[in-house]
Structure 1
Amino acid sequence: MKSYLNLPLLLITLWTLSSLGYGQNSGPMVVKGQVLDQLDQSPLSYASVGIFDANQTLRSGGITDDNGFFEIELSQGKFTLQIDYISYKTLKKNIEVQASLDLGILFMEQNQEALDEVVVRAENTEVQIRLDKKIYTIGKDLTTSGATVSDALNNVPSVTVDVDGSIALRGNENVRILINGKPSAIAGFGQTDALRQLPAEAIERVEVITAPSARYDAEGTAGILNIILRKEKTRGLNGSIQANLNEPFGYGSTLALNWRTDRFNLFSTIGYRHRESPGNASYNNRYFDPDFAAARYTERRNFDHLRKGFNTNFGLEYFLTESSSITGSIFLRTGDDKDKTENQAKEWTSGDTLLSHIQRLQN
């Protein structure tokens, strides 16, 4: 009697298990695998994995994890597995999914192409920190190519050069400029304009002295900038010529010549600069005070700065010993600087009626 009662329960259990098994087989399958580098067998993280049907339509996809593993749900059928990874050849594999499929390890080959060698040589700006000063070796810095001394100084830490060419050290414009450790005639020409004309290629290094000793006078309370000009150390006659173009309107050229013997060194730098800097500015101010007749003030300003200059630096160095020498140099500069400013100012009432119109032209 007891066995007879358990028979229906056994039949129901078998039917339930059969139904569950049928439902699992008809659901989505899982395709998984691991993607490795073919050479060192390292995992390829975040590789793109796509599964396409016969019509090249993307049916499913994903990316590999940190260890190169992937798992993608997919229905039954025949597909093409495609794996893409940067600098690797695309991997394609035909698969047939009848049940969950483990593809195991999939190796990808690097896509290597032989390229011609490209060598870029440049000397970076080096820094030497001493007790009394900081020395910045400009060298053949690519960022200063075709620039002026003012542009090169703007790359020196703690030194700033504004749009007008004024030089400040740690925010203070009371700076003394020395050339090769001595006061230079460029101060008589106006150091701002003179440094704009001197090419940056003529600089070997810049010494920033923020706490001048007693050997310097009281001029330059903010500090001293000592600009050391480049002198060729190769014996014989050598030189270089450079030309540059600047946006929006600027061009220039620099010729450097040097002749050295065992005892003497003659050096000269000749340069020409032409730079035009146009610009404009506009202002629109509104006033809400009823005591003012004008409710709105507008101003339009157009300006054009033109800098043309020729400069030359000629020097003679006599070598006393291997480590000491006497140097004399002459700096000459001539230029034509023009500034043109046109200013139009207007005042309006609250009803936009013109009250006044002032136009100024400054050359």
Structure 2
Amino acid sequence: MSLKTTGLLFLLTTGITLAQTPTGSPSQPVPAQSGQSAPAAIGDASAKGNAKITGYAIDSTMTKAVEFANVALYETTSGKLVDGAVADEKGKFTLTKLAPGSYKLLISFLGYTSKTVDNIVLSKGQTKDIGVIRLSASTRTLGEVTVAGKKALVEDKVDRLIYNADNDVAAKGGDATDILKKVPMLSVDPTGNVSLQGSTSVRVLINNKPSSILAGNLADALRQIPADLIKTVEVITSPSAKYDAEGSGGIINIITKKNTLQGLHLDVDGGTGNRNSTLGLNGSFRKGKLGLNLNGNGRVIYNPSASDLDQTTFLAAGATPVQTHQRIDAFDKGTFAQYALGLDYDLAKNQSLTGGVRLGIRNLSMDQHQLTNTLSSEQIATPSKRDVNTQNLSNSIDVNIDYLHTYEGSSKELSFSTQYSRSNLTNNFGANNLDALGLIKTRQQNLNDATNQEFILQADYQTPVSKLLQVEFGAKNTIRRVTSDYNYLLAGPTSDYAVDPSRPSGLLNYDQNIAAAYLSTTFTLPGGVVIKPGFRYEYTSIQAQTGGSTGVPTDISIPNYGRLLPSINIGKKVGESSSLKFGYTRRIRRPFIDDLNPNFNTANPLNIRVGNPYLKPETVDRIEIGYSTQVKKTYLNFSLYTRLNTDDIQSISQRSDTLVGAVVTRVTNLGKEYNYGTNLFATINITPRWSVNANLDIMYRFIQGLALDINGLSTTISNQGFRWGGRMDTQMQFDKGWVLQANIGYRGKDIALQGYRIGFAQYSLGARKSFTNKRGSIGIVAENFLTRGMGFTSVLNSAQFNQDFRQYIYNSSVRATFSYKFGSLNGAKVKKNKSLSDEN
């Protein structure tokens, strides 16, 4: 039996009477009384006419239509039901042959709260478009049967998982990392680094677009995005040919909330706690064909941290090793802000223009006190003291304009998209080297200014060839320019800074052009099988220069390269509630700004980092098999995958040739890496008000590459082992608007080429109370509250050195949150928007 037939039967069998309803707003269908006969036919009004009413029934989340919703039309004065209809699969409904008069419309569907539209006045021959009617999900008890209208936490598509973040209580007042910690297949470590099924090479998009906000340090950039602004997170492990090939581990697409309501509207969200405070404003205005959205969010952090480093450096065969111990006490201060203005305008019935401007600010400052003891030739040197202030500052802007042309009665679409992005990055440090009495001996500065600019132009076209086949193709060109200008300065206790002759200034100009074209098809076969094969070709040309900032730059010879990148996704529905999927994709990872920057960063003279402008792209072949099912109140998703990396981009550490006891970490193309893993995710709706979610992942990693032996000669080394992790979340809803949420998770030991990092645990507890008018809420969230914070250890072992690094993150926090909505809102017509990298 079809859903449409079911909707018609529901309209009849629930006993909607066509005789009489009480005068006033018909809040619910009136049950037919015993012995009362039903009308002969819906729509058999006493007076016929030629007027018409049309509209759409849409889920209040504005993400999908309410398919086959029930529509009933009443006369205003008498309350008599004169007509009825069932919406189609797009939520559209039409009532025809109506006489002039005044009417009320009731829209209802199982699992939603019914909604009434009053004062519909029709004149002769008039067509009345009432736009979109937004239905809110509800929970209703019918006898012993409970129907829950709550949206699923996880939605499973043929090439991705969608995590609905709207109801995450514990993330209120937090940032994007607080949401990503709970998404299936993702892991976030205590410093904010994100990995997807064990890979840190992840492409992150915001609303289907690349953003300059994410071009630098990803962990810091994610702190700019407030958790309250995130609507869904899409985890795309097997991207189709339409997506850029960057990101060997896959794609994380963060969808932010966008208001499409008629009228003027403003949301205020905020929170304050012992580790951070937030404030956000989200407003919208819509009238007719024009819509505007404006949001601004700010976040400040204030957090102490500390670390201990024990290191043994082997200088040469037979030489006395150098023993070093370092203690660092630090305090981090940061301000993160993001502002966005969006505009959309209907040029015509099937044509729309959208545009937007997004600004980002990231100012992170760290004050460190470093105390270092060095033991060499069995004598303890005088402890060295060093005060360091590190400034990681950036500002970014993204500007986009998109055009979309749809074709009525068809899924055919044509779109053009363009985007300009620029980010300015400053990564400076200033250090005071102190004597035994704490007085300044010398001063040092490293000034490093970098920029990243991108211009993107893209065209996409999709068209149905038949009922079973759809074709889409397009082209994209990305012009990228990365620059870095750095220098080193020295000074005495009071003298002016001068250029450090031992470390000359440097310059990097890195121009990259990526031309891409793709072809993707979607076959819908009998038996619920969907096959989506595709090919993408990308050609990358590079021009790069290095040199002193006062001299003539020198060209770097970096070969151009082209890549053919096939992909295929296959999905099959098994029964009514299960599905199988298979995915294969080839992807590449191009180096990031931090990977390329040759600046020799000595903020910590024992742990030095330097980039590599000669890096080649990393190539990844990935295969995944997945199964998902709904068994009564339990949703299960299980996957097996393998990921094979060549020209693997990794960090490799070796002893310094100039600084005794120091280790230098460089980014290089190590060799190869093989990963084999499995992931299991489950969500159980124990009751309509109580749900439990659990995630377990296990991965085996083999990694091989080149390192230096004690004499400085290259040798092949490898490492391998298992890593596992899991977490559990629960959420309970109570009367009077109360919601309680708890979370606990553990991440096991992680394998690297030269060592490993031990595991860590995190947990949180949150509660929220919604106001009776549903316009606002207050809450409290506590994280890692049983201790001051956590510590985790990284161990590196090589022929040249052994290192034990223990980092202490004082992230025990408690924060209070609040939100409130201002404004008077009505439904607005929903329309599709096309954007860069948008996947249909």
Q: TM-score normalized by structure 1?
A: 0.57
Superposition deviation, residue 207 in structure 1: 0.8
* Counterpart in the other structure of 1:257: 283
* Counterpart in the other structure of 2:293: 267
Aligned length: 236
Deviations 1:308-354 (A, max 9, x none): 122201111335799996532211012322122222122469x9x84
Unaligned stretches of 5+ residues in structure 1 = 1-122
* Counterpart in the other structure of 2:306: 280
- Equivalent residue of 1:252, what SS? strand
**Alpha-carbon distance in structure 2 between the residues aligned to 1:305 and 1:124:** 39
- Equivalent residue of 2:241, what SS? coil
Superposition deviation, residue 226 in structure 1: 1.1
Superposition deviation, residue 230 in structure 1: 0.6
**Alpha-carbon distance in structure 1 between the residues aligned to 2:373 and 2:180:** 40
* Alignment CA distance shift 1:361-1:258 (3 Å): same
**Alpha-carbon distance in structure 1 between the residues aligned to 2:349 and 2:171:** 31
Superposition deviation, residue 137 in structure 1: 1.0
**Alpha-carbon distance in structure 2 between the residues aligned to 1:176 and 1:293:** 42
Superposition deviation, residue 159 in structure 1: 1.5
Are the equivalent residues in 1 in contact too, given 2:214–2:222 (CA < 8 A)?
A: no
Are the equivalent residues in 2 in contact too, given 1:344–1:360 (CA < 8 A)?
A: yes
Are the equivalent residues in 1 in contact too, given 2:291–2:343 (CA < 8 A)?
A: yes
Candidates 218, 228, 234, aligned match of 1:207? 234
Unaligned stretches of 5+ residues in structure 2 = 1-149, 313-318, 390-840
Asked whether 1:198 is paired with 2:225, we answer: yes
Superposition deviation, residue 258 in structure 1: 1.1
Letter in 2 for 1:261: K
* Counterpart in the other structure of 2:384: 358
Deviations 1:25-69 (A, max 9, x none): xxxxxxxxxxxxxxxxxxxxxxxxxxxxxxxxxxxxxxxxxxxxx
Letter in 1 for 2:286: R
Superposition deviation, residue 262 in structure 1: 4.1
Asked whether 1:304 is paired with 2:327, we answer: no
Asked whether 1:138 is paired with 2:165, we answer: yes
* Alignment CA distance shift 1:124-1:200 (3 Å): farther
* Alignment CA distance shift 1:356-1:211 (3 Å): same
Asked whether 1:237 is paired with 2:264, we answer: yes
Alignment of 1:1-363 (within 5 A): 126-188=153-215, 190-248=217-275, 250-282=276-308, 298-318=325-345, 326-347=353-374, 354-363=380-389
Letter in 1 for 2:302: E
* Counterpart in the other structure of 1:70: none
* Alignment CA distance shift 1:327-1:168 (3 Å): farther
Name the one with the larger helix percent. Answer: 1
Deviations 1:265-297 (A, max 9, x none): 2111101111022112345789xxxx9588x85
* Alignment CA distance shift 1:327-1:164 (3 Å): farther
Deviations 1:226-256 (A, max 9, x none): 11111123321111112211333x2120011
**Alpha-carbon distance in structure 2 between the residues aligned to 1:203 and 1:324:** 28
Identity, % of aligned positions: 30
Name the one with the larger strand percent. Answer: 2
Superposition deviation, residue 190 in structure 1: 4.9
**Alpha-carbon distance in structure 2 between the residues aligned to 1:285 and 1:189:** 29
Stretch of structure 1 that moved more, 276-285 or 171-180: 276-285
* Alignment CA distance shift 1:325-1:144 (3 Å): farther
Alignment root-mean-square deviation, CA: 3.3
**Alpha-carbon distance in structure 1 between the residues aligned to 2:349 and 2:272:** 40
**Alpha-carbon distance in structure 2 between the residues aligned to 1:328 and 1:135:** 25
Please identify the structure whose Cα radius of gyration is greater. Answer: 1
- Equivalent residue of 1:204, what SS? strand
**Alpha-carbon distance in structure 1 between the residues aligned to 2:218 and 2:294:** 20
Letter in 1 for 2:295: T
Are the equivalent residues in 2 in contact too, given 1:206–1:227 (CA < 8 A)?
A: yes
Superposition deviation, residue 139 in structure 1: 0.7
**Alpha-carbon distance in structure 2 between the residues aligned to 1:262 and 1:270:** 25
Q: TM-score normalized by structure 2?
A: 0.26
Superposition deviation, residue 179 in structure 1: 1.6
- Equivalent residue of 2:362, what SS? strand
